[in-house]
Amino acid sequence: MAREKVITTVPADEVQKHDAALRPKLLKEVIGQRKVAERLEIAVCASKKLKEPLGHILFDGPPGLGKTTFATVLPNELGTSIQLTSGPALSKPADLLPFLTNLEEGSVLFIDEIHRMPRVVEEFIYPAMEDFRIDIVLGEGMSARTISMNLKRFTLIGATTRSGMLSSPMRDRFKMHEHLEFYSVEELAQIVRINSAKLNTPITDAAALELAQRSRGTPRVANSRLYWTRNFAAALHDGKITEDIARDALDKAEVDREGLDKNDRKYLETLIDLYAGGPTGVEALAATINLASDTLSDEIEPYLLREQYITRSPRGRVAMPRAYTVLGKIPPRPKPEEKPQPGLFD
């Protein structure tokens, strides 16, 4: 049986516990992202046959698409242990030492939000990734000396929603770089059915499809919708989730038929009503809505961009015709092209 040693630096909230309970344990159990999973299966097979650690892997993509899931599945496939931490928790090289020195041969170190790791920590980990050693400086000034410590061979897995914020030297040290895409409605419906069975909650195929259609192409959102609908069905009905119950539950949660929640609609309403459809910068929108700009750019905008509710221009965000339609507003007529005025000497 695969051993899994987990060191967390940030207390897990209830949602994270639920997500962990529903996560697949092996690559063959992963729904969606099949091309990524197939490449990882090849890498795992090669690692076992060659008796070498798995190459360092970087996962990037919007939140909730399975970066952490893949990171926790791979140690199970390899029969090794995993340690988990996050970029914001590693403020100095000393914060990384307990993880590196506790590594076992072939084990996995997972760093979530790796783009938020300070540059000094990033540079400290370079020799660990390349040569499986670290250099520790003892003392200061003229009396300072450097000790080189050998590490056991390991695999670093990084997850990021902003791969562009990683430095080129850091990105180049990852042997594999996998970008995760949004899921189809059919894939999400299958995830909902599987996780509903894990929760011992009966659900009809039509209800699973209804939840999937309102889950923004994201498994994490689908799981959140499932938990809410499960509670709604248990509290007000007999516990079984039917299509009508799923619709009522999501309507009560202010999630519309397009999968937009109240923050999405507030974003679009602010952009259209206050800023005349744009263009406007994300900082201005964040200040008006009273949400962090990172929340807008990492959690709200990817889906709105993908579904063509908004677009990005050099001057800022611009509302597309579909945004006006979903809010029941009339899109503005395109401005007629102005003909150049004849010059004085034309």
Note the pLDDT of residue 239: 87
Cα–Cα distances in angstroms (integers) from residue 125 to residues 81, 97, 115, 169, 284, in the given order = 20, 10, 13, 11, 37
- Please name the residue ranges forming H helices in 105-177: 119-131, 168-172
Shared domain for 148 and 36, answered yes or no, is yes
Q: With respect to residue 6, please indicate whether it lies within any of the assigned structural domains.
A: no
Catalytic residue among 161, 201, 218, 280: 161
Note the pLDDT of residue 232: 92
**pLDDT value at 181 more than 50:** yes
Domain at 147, CATH number: 3.40.50.300
Distance (Å, whole) CA 130 – CA 104 = 17
Shared domain for 266 and 242, answered yes or no, is no
Q: Using 50, 70 and 90 to split pLDDT, how confident is the model at 187?
A: very high
DSSP-derived pairing of the beta strands 57-60 and 155-160? parallel
Note the pLDDT of residue 57: 94
Q: What are the tens digits of pLDDT across the range 239-252?
A: 899 999 999 999 99
Note the pLDDT of residue 208: 94
Distance (Å, whole) CA 170 – CA 141 = 29
Return the CA Rg of the chain: 24
Q: With respect to residue 5, please indicate whether it lies within any of the assigned structural domains.
A: no
Query: Domain range for residue 267?
Result: 262-326
Catalytic residue among 19, 60, 67, 193: 67
Q: Is 68 annotated in the active site?
A: yes
Domain at 266, CATH number: 1.10.10.10
Q: With respect to residue 346, please indicate whether it lies within any of the assigned structural domains.
A: no
Tally of structural domains, the chain: 3
Neighbours of 196 (CB within 10 A): 21
Q: With respect to residue 304, please indicate whether it lies within any of the assigned structural domains.
A: yes
Catalytic residue among 23, 69, 85, 112: 112
Q: With respect to residue 121, please indicate whether it lies within any of the assigned structural domains.
A: yes
Shared domain for 69 and 161, answered yes or no, is yes
Shared domain for 223 and 161, answered yes or no, is no
Average pLDDT over residues 305-314: 87
**pLDDT value at 276 more than 50:** yes
Catalytic residue among 214, 220, 225, 230: 220
Q: Is 294 annotated in the active site?
A: no
The pTM of the full predicted model, rounded to 2 decimals, is 0.78
Give the residue from 300, 294, 293, 311 showing the smallest Cα distance to 267: 300
Q: Is 220 annotated in the active site?
A: yes
Note the pLDDT of residue 284: 87
Neighbours of 250 (CB within 10 A): 23
Q: With respect to residue 224, please indicate whether it lies within any of the assigned structural domains.
A: yes
Note the pLDDT of residue 326: 84
Shared domain for 158 and 25, answered yes or no, is yes
**pLDDT value at 20 more than 70:** no
Domain at 193, CATH number: 1.10.8.60
Catalytic residue among 19, 60, 68, 155: 68
DSSP class of 176: E
Note the pLDDT of residue 343: 53
Shared domain for 139 and 247, answered yes or no, is no
**pLDDT value at 275 more than 90:** no
Choosing from 209, 224, 252, the residue where a domain stops is: 252
Q: With respect to residue 8, please indicate whether it lies within any of the assigned structural domains.
A: no
DSSP-based three-state secondary structure for 115: helix
Q: Using 50, 70 and 90 to split pLDDT, how confident is the model at 337?
A: low
Average pLDDT over residues 98-111: 89
Note the pLDDT of residue 168: 87
Shared domain for 90 and 44, answered yes or no, is yes
Q: Is 329 annotated in the active site?
A: no
H helix count then E strand count, the chain: 15, 9
Shared domain for 150 and 28, answered yes or no, is yes
**Quick one: which H or E segment has residue 118?**
none
Give the residue from 223, 229, 302 showing the smallest Cα distance to 15: 223
Shared domain for 41 and 151, answered yes or no, is yes
* Cβ within 8 Å of residue 267, ≥6 positions away: 285, 289, 296, 300, 301, 304
The token pair that represents 3 in the structure block: 């051993």
Note the pLDDT of residue 147: 75
